[in-house]
Amino acid sequence: MLRKITMLLLLLVTINSYAQEDAWVYLIDKPNVAVAIANPITILTQKAIDRKQHHNISIDERDVPVNEAYISDLNTQTGITVLAKSKWFNAVHVRGTETDINALSELTYVDYIDFANKNLNTASRSTTIEDKTAIEDETINFTYGDTQNQVEMINVDNLHLEDFTGKGITIAVMDSGFPNVNTMAGFQRLRDSLGLLDGYDFVDRTADVYASAISSHGTRVLSTMAGFVQDQFVGTAPDASYYLFRTEDGASENPVEESYWVEAAERADSLGVDMINTSLGYRVFDNPNYDYSPSDMNGQVAFISKGASIAVEKGILVVVSAGNSGASAWQTVGSPADSPDVLSIGAVDANGNYVSFSSQGGAAQVGYQKPDVVARGGAAYVIDENNTITQNNGTSFSGPILCGGIASLWQAIPDASPTEVMDFVRQSASQFNAPDDFLGYGIPDLDLALNMALSIDKESVDDFRFYPNPVSDELNIKFPLILNELELSIYNQLGQIILNKTIQDETKTINTADLSTGIYLLKLSSEAISKTFKFIKQ
C-alpha cells in the first residue's frame, strides 16, 4: 500500500512539473528607439561601437534593450515567472501554466506567444535525463603529455612563433560552470595579464560566475584556449581576453537555457566581444513535449540557433562544437551548431581520424555543410578544476581548441571580417575540395589560412599584380616593364605542376576555367627574381 501511495505521489509531482510550461513572449515595441540609436553609447560600450564600425555593422533597433516596464508588469501577472529576456528578439522567456501564459496575449504590449511545447518527438522514450557531458568528462588513463599535437594539428604553433597568440581578440565563453578559474594556477598567466575580464551566471543570476560547482565543463573548455603551465601546457590563444558566461544548468535540461544563451550573446555584443565560443547543444529536454527533431536542425527552428545567427549579423564570429551524437540514433549536429552562419567544429583523434561520437551533417542542412571543419576532440588535453592536466573526449574541446587558433589568426589579419576569417579557415582545410558529413571541409591549416589572407590582401608586391583573387575563368598578371620575359608555373596543394609556360609583355591573361576549385601557388621567375603567390580558384 505504501509503495502505491509513493508511486502516486511521484506521478502527481511529474504531472505538476509538466503543467508548468515554458514560452517566449514577443513584445510589440521598445521605448525611445530613435534616441538610443542616435546616442549608441547609452546602450553599448565604446568597444562594441568601434567593432561594429570596423566591420560596417549598423546599429539598429535590436541593440535597444527590452522595455523594463513591460517585464515588471509581466512579473505581476498571475502564475507568471520571467526567467530571461532578449533585446534581439524583443522577447522574454516565461514559465507558468498554459492558461496563465495564454492570458498574456490580452496585454496590449504583447505581440504573440511561442510555446516551447511544439509536440515534437512525442513518442515514448526513456525517462533518463541526458547528460550532455558524459562522454567528455570521462577521464582516460594516460601517460603524461602536453598540447603539442592538438596545437600542431591546426598549425597554430607557427602563428605563435610570429607572436600571434590572440592578443587584442576578446572571446565570450558560454558554458555550464567555471569553478576555480579565478584561483587555480593553470590560469595564473591569464589573470596576471588581465585577460580574465569579467563574467556572469545567467542561471543563478549572480556576478560570481565561479560559484557554481555543478559542472567544471567550462573550466576545461577555457583551458584549451587560455590555459598555461610552463613547459607542460599551452592553450591555442593564451593572450586573448575572455568573458565567462554560465548559461547551462547542469541539473536540468530546459529551453530556458537557450534563452540564457541568447541573453549572454546580447551582453557579449554590447561589450564589444569579437568571438563567441560555446560547447553547448540542445536537442531533447526533460519534458519531451519540448524536444526538437533532427529535421528541425536547419538553423531556422531552435531559438538559440536563430540567436546565434543574429550574433553573426552583429559582427561576432561564433564557434560552436558540433555535438557528441555521431554514434547515437540522433546522429546529426544539434542547435546552435545547425546554424549556417556559425562555424561548427567536429572532432578527430590524435591521428586526424574521425571519432565516432562526433556529430555529423544531416539532411536538414540543405545547401550548406556541417560540420564546417574539425580539430582534435579525441583524448584532447585539458586542465581540470583541480589544476590537473588530463585527457577528455568530446567536440566540446575540438571547438575551443580551434576557436583559440582562429583568435590567433584573426590577430594577424585584424581588418578581415568574421565571414572572411571563416572562409579562410574552411579554404585552408584538408578536404576543402571534397567535404563530407563526417569531417566537413577537414582539418584547417591556420598558417596556410594566414598566407592566403595576406596574398589576397596584398595583391601588389614590388609592382607585380595578379587579379582577381579569388578567380573564376581568367587570371590577369601584370609585372614590371623592365622584365621582358618570365616563367610562370602553377602548382596545386600537392605540389604538382598544373601549368608551366613562358609569358611576355606587360600584362598576360591565364585561362583558369578548367582548374578545379581550390588553392594554388603561382610562381613567377626569371634569372633575376622569383616571386610566389597564392590564389583561390572558385
Alpha helix locations (H) across 314-394? none
Active site residue 175: yes
Contact 268/276 with Cβ under 8 angstroms? Answer: yes
Strand partners, 280: none
Active site residue 396: yes
Q: Which three cell numbers stand for residue 538?
A: 572558385
Which has the closest alpha carbon to 396: 201, 250, 189?
A: 250
Written as one letter, the residue type at 234 is V
Q: Which three cell numbers stand for residue 56?
A: 560596417
SS3 of residue 17 by DSSP: helix
Task: Give the list of residues 6+ apart from residue 59 with CB closer than 8 angstroms, or none.
Answer: 37, 40, 44, 49, 52
Q: Which candidate in 175, 239, 384, 437 is catalytic?
A: 175
Contact 88/65 with Cβ under 8 angstroms? Answer: no
Q: Which candidate in 270, 396, 428, 455 is catalytic?
A: 396
Task: Please state, in angstroms and rounded to a whole number, the distance separating the CA atoms of residues 490 and 512.
Answer: 10
Q: How far does the chain reach from its first CA to its final CA, in angstroms?
A: 74
Q: What does the DSSP 8-state code read for residue 59?
A: P
Which of 180-204 are b and which e, b meaning 16 or more Cβ less than 10 Å from the residue's Cβ? bbeebebbebbeeeebbeebbbbbe
Task: Please state, in angstroms and rounded to a whole number, the distance separating the CA atoms of residues 276 and 269.
Answer: 9
CA 401 to chain centre: 11
SS3 of residue 23 by DSSP: strand
The residue whose grid cell reads 567536440 is: 395
| Phi and psi angles of residue 35, each rounded to the nearest 5 degrees, phi first | -65, -40
Task: Please state, in angstroms and rounded to a whole number, the distance separating the CA atoms of residues 205 and 49.
Answer: 26
Using left for φ > 0, alpha for ψ between -120 and 50, and beta otherwise, residue 394 falls in: left
Task: Please state, in angstroms and rounded to a whole number, the distance separating the CA atoms of residues 388 and 391.
Answer: 10
Active site residue 217: yes
Q: Which candidate in 93, 216, 217, 398 is catalytic?
A: 217
Write the DSSP string, 212-229.
--S--HHHHHHHHHH-EE
Which has the closest alpha carbon to 274: 432, 409, 447, 176?
A: 409
Active site residues: 175, 217, 396
